[in-house]
Structure 1
Amino acid sequence: MRAIEITRSGGPEVLEWREVPDPRPEPGEIVIEVAASAVNRADVHQRNGHYDPPPGASPYPGLEVSGVVAEVGADVEQFRVGEEVCALLAGGGYAERVAVPWQQVMPVPQGVRLVEAAGLPEVACTVWSNVFMTARLRKGETLLVHGGASGIGTFAVQLAKALGSRVVATVGSAEKAERVLALGADETVDYHQEDFSEKVRADVILDIIGAKYLAQNVKALRPGGRLVVIGLQGGRKAELDLGMLLAKRLSVYGTTLRARPVDDKGAIVRSTVDKVWPLVSGGAVRPVVYAEVPMERAAEAHRMLDSGEHVGKILLVR
């Protein structure tokens, strides 16, 4: 088969479409003939040499795919050859085929094109597991989403709104604000011009920035609020005001999805299919696709992501 290899650490030019060995399903795995994958920030970090795959994972980038079941390993009874599926991966999505534990495989939601479904697993599982399973966002509470125009952001805005929460999102331009408001956000804050901690009081914050926003996040939380940090685009280390943490009875969570054990991912996947897929099938939440780029031109797709101009997901299609 062919796959995108990271030939060395560096810019998008280090991504090359090459012949590589075909994957074979181990017991408990299935092989998916890939229709599409999606570009995530983690892929850029891996390309830059800052985010190695977990032990045993494929060395090729790509944390999600959609496609058709091509092979089924021993001990797998849940899926059959020929089924259309999408899957959460620890790596290997930028390829013609990928092997994945069956627990991380999901049916394609009704009403979603097979290619579009490649942009769902990572954002859906990330948002559901962090905002709802971990931070326990409830109906009527306020969610603050950083990077509201990103893949994670566009999904979080829609899902929280569909489940009855008030949603505020930070954005980087008036154009992105317009798009995010159209997805259901109640309010946006332009982080280039405004300090969100002076304007927003939230019950839950979903943060992709990290250190740079820590003090502001703590200030913006209401008493009993929950901060979930899922990214470190603004650095790893910052000072935390423990006095404010105690006085406001706040909780701070730090989570990742990629390196979790298969059983943990499987539990998240099953909950996502049970709770989120009906909203996707019913149209209350939909994939937001910025561009579909041929997989062999992955470097072009990475340049799009690096530019920061996109809204939603960038897909790599076969």
Structure 2
Amino acid sequence: MLAITQTRFGGPEVLDIVEVDKPRPGVGEILVRVAATSVNPADWKVRAGLVDGLGTPPLTLGFDVSGIVEELGPGVDRFGVGDAVYGMVLGGAYAEYVVAQPHTLAPKPRTIDHAHAAALPSAALTAWQALAAIGAGQRILVHAAAGGVGHLAVQIANHRGAYVIGTARSANHDYLRELGVAELIDYTTADFGTLVRDVDIVLDLIGGAYGSRSAATLRPDGRLIDTQGSDAGADPRYERFYAEPSGVSLREIATMVERGSLRVTIDQVLPLAEVATAHQLSESGRVRGKIVLAPWNPPV
């Protein structure tokens, strides 16, 4: 099969198309034929060696998958061959086939195609799990509200009755209002730290110096949930957050999608062969929603 691998850390140019053996599922594993995958910030950070996500090269990136169950390993009875599934895997989805653990997968939402399903897992799980405790009437500030995680987080928070404040470029404001954001701040022209107060939760999807500035907007008993690493680690309200693969959560997310309460935005769909371009776009920080990658021979 064809796959994208890298033999060293570096820029997008280290990503190569190679022919490798088709994997076989072991005990308790599932082989999925990849219909689509998507790009997350973690992908290019692992590629560059900025975070230790998959060990040392050679390695194949790709944490999101939507596709068709091709083969079941011994002991698997949760899915059947031919089932349409989606999920968050521990690397390897930049390929025609990927091996996954059953607990990381869920049935693909029936109302969307594989491209949109592939855009969901990592981003939606981050938003879903990070905001598990949010309730009606709470005030939440979401940074990078139009991004992959952000645009899902604002919908989940709004659905649960929260008052949503978002930071984003003005070009994304109308789009975010449609998703339920009540108050918008253009971070290129205004300082959210002087405009926002008494927030119950900050979902910081940017990190760095945004941490301490965000902490200043919180209530004394508020929470600062950071997904990137920031300068607010000493604040007792600070929480460094990591999403966990969960088929259970993905089933709940799928229900929300099928009911029309959650929609995922695709910025672009590119061939997997153009993964380097996709990484460059992701690194630019100017993506609305997600970039999706289509493999060479996707299942029909």
User: How far did 1:188 drift?
Assistant: 1.4
Measured in 2, the distance between the counterparts of 1:82 and 1:309 equals: 37
Q: In the alignment, does 2:239 pair up with 1:253?
A: yes
Matches within 5 A, 1:89-104: 89-104=89-104
Cα offsets for 1:255-292 (capped at 9, x unmatched): 223xx6xxxx34xx313423x32221011111110100
Measured in 1, the distance between the counterparts of 2:58 and 2:262 equals: 31
Q: Which runs of 5+ in 2 are unaligned?
A: 296-300
Q: Select between 1-10 and 139-148 the one with higher mean Cα deviation.
A: 1-10
- What is the root-mean-square deviation of aligned Cα atoms in Å? 2.0
Cα offsets for 1:86-107 (capped at 9, x unmatched): 0111111111100011000011
- Residue 273 of structure 1 is matched in structure 2 by 251
Question: What SS does the corresponding residue of 1:115 show, helix, strand or coil?
Answer: helix
Structure 1 residues 21 and 181, CA gap change in structure 2 (3 angstroms): same
Question: What SS does the corresponding residue of 1:36 show, helix, strand or coil?
Answer: strand
Matches within 5 A, 1:1-318: 1-54=1-54, 59-132=59-132, 136-171=133-168, 173-201=169-197, 202-232=199-229, 236-237=230-231, 240=234, 251-257=237-243, 265-266=245-246, 269-274=247-252, 276-318=253-295
Structure 1 residues 238 and 116, CA gap change in structure 2 (3 angstroms): closer
Counterpart AA for 2:211: L
Q: Select between 214-223 and 94-103 the one with higher mean Cα deviation.
A: 214-223
User: How far did 1:186 drift?
Assistant: 0.8
Question: What SS does the corresponding residue of 1:91 show, helix, strand or coil?
Answer: coil
Q: Which structure shows the bigger proportion of residues in helix conformation? A: 1
User: How far did 1:237 drift?
Assistant: 4.5
User: How far did 1:8 drift?
Assistant: 2.6
User: How far did 1:210 drift?
Assistant: 2.5
Quick one: percent identity of the two aligned structures? 36
Question: 1:8, 1:14 within 8 Å by CA — same for their partners in 2?
Answer: yes
Measured in 2, the distance between the counterparts of 1:8 and 1:58 equals: 7
User: How far did 1:131 drift?
Assistant: 1.3
Q: Select between 290-299 and 222-231 the one with higher mean Cα deviation.
A: 222-231
Question: 1:64, 1:93 within 8 Å by CA — same for their partners in 2?
Answer: yes
Number of equivalenced pairs = 294
Question: What SS does the corresponding residue of 1:44 show, helix, strand or coil?
Answer: helix
Structure 1 residues 45 and 167, CA gap change in structure 2 (3 angstroms): same
Measured in 2, the distance between the counterparts of 1:314 and 1:58 equals: 24
User: How far did 1:112 drift?
Assistant: 0.9
User: After TM superposition, what 4+ stretches of structure 1 lie above 6 angstroms from structure 2?
Assistant: none
Measured in 1, the distance between the counterparts of 2:100 and 2:233 equals: 40
Cα offsets for 1:123-154 (capped at 9, x unmatched): 1111111111xxx1111111111111110001
Counterpart AA for 2:251: V
